[in-house]
Structures are given as structure tokens and as C-alpha cells.
Amino acid sequence: MRILTLAGFVLSALFTQTAFPAGGTSSQVLEAATQFLDQFVERQASNGYKITYELGNLDSRLTLANCIAGPTVAFSGDPWRSTHPRLEISCEGERPWRIFLSSALKITGEAFVAARPLGRGDRLREEMISRSEVVINSIRRGAIKKLEDLIGMEISRPINAGTVFTPDLVSAPDAVSRGDHVIIIARSGNFSVQSRGKALGNGRIGEQVRIENLSSSRTLRARIIGPGRVEVVM
């Protein structure tokens, strides 16, 4: 088992293919896979994660065509969403080959969790959120990494204290509620006019809601573009 420090995760580097010295025996394949994982860890610089990994076994009798340019190694899946990502090891050339190698990978670090039990519809405040050390890549839906992505959001269903916040557990609150007075922006090309209206329903940004124009008493449907603001395209 290898224990290393992981930091500064760069998403674009997740599936980068890396070539290693030539060879085709099982020991050389394992060496290339080890170098790939070591480099994956070293590229991460400063976020304070701890990672442990262990490579699966290859048949010691495995013989592959000599890879003149060196085998290429890449993750075949997202290692931040699985504790057992596979490595794809391949070689191009006159006698190309490709094999998959299993691995056990554990990335441990801090994540935002519920500081106490929370109910559906609770609006998140900073005192409701704490940090706890968890195995990051065991959270299949992905942990929310930024506090600002949580503050003000609503809980989608009841959760217990210590539950890791993931995107499916929170949703944006209604930007407009029934009875709210809103600004109606009627837009046609580069020209727009504003009027006042009253919301006849609830909705989030991007959703449609029925609005009563307070000047004309007409009812219309408008798209919510911000808290207390709706838009009608003419």
C-alpha cells in the first residue's frame, strides 16, 4: 500500500494519457501504472488530501508485443467518483495492444457536512454547516467543495447530522413567491420597458411563472431572471 499526499486537484488532468518507457512484460506494465499514479499524485499540490492506492495483479506470464514508444496509461473512469478506478494501459504501433488494470484508491480529505439534523426546505446558514474528514471518492454524487455553493440553498429532503452535502441534497430557493411584487421586463431585441406586477405562483430562476401586470390587470407568463425580476420576450 502506498500512502501519499494529494493536493491541488486539476480536473483537466484526470484522464490525461501518459507514455512511459518501452516494454511489454507484466512487470514493465505494472511499473508504468505505478509511475502514472505517482505522477497523478505529484501533480496535485496544495489541498491537503491524503491518498492511498494499491494496484491489482497481472499474470506474471503475461507477454505483450514490445512497445517501442512506451505504453500509454490513463484512468478509464473518474477516480474522484470511485474507490476502484481501472487503469487503461495501451500501446500503438504495428502490434497494438490494450489491457485494463484494477486498482484500489482512497482519497481522504475534508468535506462540508450537516452540523445537525436538517429538514426539507431548511435554508442553509453557515452555522448549519461543518467540516469533517471523509473518503472523498466514496461519495458517488460528488461532495460540494465551496461554502458559497451551500449558503442560502434549501435542503431537498431530511438529512442527519454528519451527512455530506452533495448536489442532489440541495436546491436553489424560489426567487419569486406567490403574492410578491416583481419588476416585469418586456424585451424586444435591444429595446425593453419595465412595469410592475404581482406573482401568481412560486418559481426559481429560469422557470416560468404567471404574473399579473398591475397597470393593465392582464395576466401573462414570464421567465424568472432574478429575485423579484421576470422577463417577457415580445
Secondary structure in 3-state letters for 147-199: HHHCCCCEECCCECCCCECCHHHEECCCCECCCCEEEEEEEECCEEEEEEEEE
Among the candidates 53, 68, 101, a domain finishes at 101
> What domain range includes position 37?
2-101
Give the SS3 label for residue 126: helix
Mark whether 119 and 154 lie in a shared domain: yes
Whether 201 is in a domain gets the answer yes
Whether 60 is in a domain gets the answer yes
Whether 202 is in a domain gets the answer yes
- Tell me how long the chain is: 234
Strand ordering across the sheet containing 2-6: 2-6, 49-55, 103-114, 129-135
Whether 176 is in a domain gets the answer no
Mark whether 193 and 229 lie in a shared domain: yes
Mark whether 126 and 94 lie in a shared domain: no
Q: Which amino acid is at 58?
A: L
Mark whether 193 and 155 lie in a shared domain: no
pLDDT at 220: 93
Among the candidates 101, 123, 141, a domain finishes at 101
pLDDT at 24: 56
Residue 205: give its domain's CATH number.
2.30.30.760
Among the candidates 152, 171, 190, a domain finishes at 171
Which stretch of DSSP H or E encloses residue 223? strand 219-226
Joined grid coordinates for residue 222: 414570464
Mark whether 86 and 164 lie in a shared domain: no
Mark whether 71 and 147 lie in a shared domain: no
Nearest to 211 by CA among 159, 201, 155: 201
**Whether the model pTM is above 0.85:** no
Q: What distance in Å separates the CA atoms of residue 81 and residue 143, rounded to the nearest whole number?
A: 10
Whether 67 is in a domain gets the answer yes
Beta bridge partners of 63: 25
Mark whether 68 and 149 lie in a shared domain: no
Pairing of the two strands 129-135 and 87-91: unpaired
Q: What distance in Å separates the CA atoms of residue 55 and residue 163, rounded to the nearest whole number?
A: 30
Pairing of the two strands 191-199 and 181-188: antiparallel
Nearest to 229 by CA among 171, 149, 175: 175
Q: Which amino acid is at 197?
A: G
Joined grid coordinates for residue 36: 502514472
Determine the Cα angle at 153 with ends 212 and 169, to 5°.
115
Pairing of the two strands 72-75 and 87-91: antiparallel
> For the CA atoms of 29, 44, 77, 66, what is the dihedral angle to 10 degrees?
-20
pLDDT at 5: 37
Whether 23 is in a domain gets the answer yes
Residue 155: give its domain's CATH number.
3.90.1210.10
Mark whether 14 and 96 lie in a shared domain: yes
| Count of structural domains within the chain | 3
Mark whether 113 and 198 lie in a shared domain: no
Whether 69 is in a domain gets the answer yes
Q: What distance in Å separates the CA atoms of residue 18 and residue 58, rounded to the nearest whole number?
A: 20
Mark whether 194 and 222 lie in a shared domain: yes
Mark whether 117 and 32 lie in a shared domain: no
Mean pLDDT, 10 residues at a time, the chain of 234 residues: 39 46 68 91 75 88 81 92 94 88 92 96 95 92 91 95 96 91 91 93 92 93 93 89
Mark whether 42 and 25 lie in a shared domain: yes
Q: What distance in Å separates the CA atoms of residue 20 and residue 31, rounded to the nearest whole number?
A: 9
Which stretch of DSSP H or E encloses residue 124? none
